[in-house]
Amino acid sequence: MAPEWALNHPITAKVDVYGYGVVVLEMIKGVKLANWVVDDAEDQEIPLKNLCRQVKEKVECGNSSWVESIVDPRLEGKFNRKQAETLIQIGLSCVEEDRSKRPTMASVVQTLMECEDETEI
């Protein structure tokens, strides 16, 4: 649920962007949000927030295998890394708590269309 709903803020199209981001991240991980498990039992963060924090930390550390650590392991590495990276970045940007930081759906579609035909380098 987008933070706007819980905080009784005005509802805009950015609520749908948030929902789209959740669906994208669920597809990438291959797990429904409700089934995500927090790695650290003492960590009371909600799973979505925890995932966002973990991914940002991996990207900042320069961990070259961060994409593989996020994508559904059932794919056994058989995916386009560049496209997966783009999807992860889109998903994360769509679930920003501050709705003004979320992209519009038009920009999401544009980004997806730009990476549609990319081949692995």
Query: What is the SS3 string spanning the chain?
Result: CCHHHHHCCCCCCHHHHHHHHHHHHHHHHCCCHHHCCCCCCCCCCCHHHHHHHHHHHHHHCCCCCHHHHHCCHHHCCCCCHHHHHHHHHHHHHHCCCCHHHCCCHHHHHHHHHHHCCCCCC
**Residue 26 pLDDT > 80:** yes
**Residue 44 pLDDT > 50:** no
Report the share of the chain in percent with pLDDT over 90. 42
The predicted model gives 56-73 an average pLDDT of: 82
Domain 3-115: give its CATH superfamily: Transferase(Phosphotransferase) domain 1 (1.10.510.10)
> What pLDDT does 41 receive?
46
Where do the structural domains in the chain lie, given as residue ranges? 3-115
- 119 vs 42, which has greater pLDDT? 119
- Confidence band for 43, pLDDT divided at 50, 70 and 90: very low
